Amino acid sequence: MPERKRVAVLADSDTRWKWGALTARRLVPDHQLTGYLLRGRATPTARQLGEVGVRADRLSEVTCAEFLAEIEREHYDVVVLALVGGAVQAVLHGARALWPKPEKRPVFVTGYVGVVYEKLADGLLLRHGADLVLANSRHDAERFRAVYEGVGADAGAVTETALPFLGGAPYEPAGSRAHTVVFAVQPSVPDSRADRAYLLERAAAHARLHPDREVLIKLRSKPGEHTTHLEEQPYQRLAEKVPGGLPANCRLVYGNMGEVLDGTDLLVTVSSTAALESLHRSIPTAILTDLGIREALGNHHFLGSGCLASWDQLDSGLLPEGDPVWLAAQGVLPGAAPGPGALAPGMPDPAAPRPPAGPAAGVAHDAYAVARAKVAGLVAATRLPALAPYYTLTTAPRYLPGILARHHLAPDGTPLPGAVRPAAGESRLRRRLRAHLREAARGAYRHGVQRVAPVIRRLGEL
């Protein structure tokens, strides 16, 4: 029996952990998974990790420098970087310092957890240098290659795949059960208190207008927790101030999005990636236009989708359906069949294998086949060239050192003195005390973001 490949996933938030771990399963179906959480403001809590529902054989919290020491010592076959762009760039330069010449090293993979609607060039160039930069759709792959080619960088790493968590049972109308509307909220879209309160009040009004429907406000995190984006105005607190309170058929819910969608008849959001999950399952999906169609909201990404709608239209009974051509370009194809790397026997594959259009119709197409073959070839190679990010001290002499310094790396990618704390000789009590202090500092930061910062901002507007 061939030896199981060793895969490490480094993530900096709950959603990126989900993307990274599921991506690893698609790329290397039979593997031993070690998870690392990058220490920072968005490090997920145990509750958040449990809600994601993706487990690793081992999971630990590390700094960037500590992670580099780990991958040098542990000899992983594949490393998936599920991080913000700056952190990806830091790891890539750190890895280049570890393996500066052609030799046996891990295969480095990175990508995006969802819809890419802002900071396209910045985020992509910070990810350049990985062996594979995954694009979640044909549309994204074309944009990614255009950015790299536009600066004269090698675009060969860009590889079209699909969001790894697309899956679940196809939609079945409510029938005798209550019609369920799910409003999938986002931590930072919209960002103003007034706009967020407006959307919540419209959801409550929809519930009052349709007492036969159940309206669920799907939340990302509890107060005090952080996700990929900062949430200064939690809906939990806004719900306490809804005039008349939330009606009986409107409530706040947590939980795994896939499980929530199992009973959803209409998904409503501003621009959440949950919309793509919903459309993949043929669930009626509305992208709200109440606040306009604006780049700052991200709903401009859904132009041409057939899903743009306002609460007024939804109140009148509209059930938007996705445009097939737009869905295909986004890598979202309802009715996809199972494929390699499924989460469990009988569970539809989130990689969304699908029948292609044209002469080859009827022949199953695995969205991860090309990426899987690339990874397998690189893993099998006796040696790989040194990583070559676009950003160097020549191309970005001012920008790059600052990025590396934030992760306690020198301009050449090596850890700064004291960046890696030796574990030997440190007592268990001291480690636990440090962990408690770190969590207390993290809690103070979150309190400042969600409680103090909004007050100061309002005072500044007086």
Tens digits of residue pLDDT in 104-127:
999 999 999 988 888 999 999 999
Give start and end residues of each alpha helix (H) in 296-395: 311-315, 324-329, 369-380
Residue 216 to residue 204: CA distance in whole angstroms? 9
Residue 189 to residue 153: CA distance in whole angstroms? 33
**Stretches in the chain below the pLDDT threshold 70:** 1, 42, 222-231, 335-365, 421-462
- Residue 135, strand partner residues: 160
The structure tokens 């036969």 sit at: 212
Residue 230 makes CB contacts below 8 A (sequence gap 6+) with 41, 187, 188, 449
Three-state secondary-structure class, residue 267: strand
308: exposed, middle or buried (C-beta count within 10 Å: 0-12, 13-18, 19+)? middle
Question: The dihedral of CA 173, 179, 181, 182: what is its sign?
Answer: negative
Q: Could you check whether the bond before residue 190 is cis, i.e. omega within 30 degrees of 0? A: yes
What pLDDT is recorded for position 79? 98
Question: The dihedral of CA 274, 276, 280, 282: what is its sign?
Answer: positive
Three-state secondary-structure class, residue 179: strand
Residue 352 makes CB contacts below 8 A (sequence gap 6+) with 162, 163, 166, 167, 280, 331, 332, 333, 336, 339, 367
Residue type, position 406, single letter:
R
Residue 33 to residue 24: CA distance in whole angstroms? 8
Half-sphere exposure of 123 (CA within 13 A, CB side): 19
152: exposed, middle or buried (C-beta count within 10 Å: 0-12, 13-18, 19+)? exposed
What pLDDT is recorded for position 419? 82
Tokens of 279: 């459309």
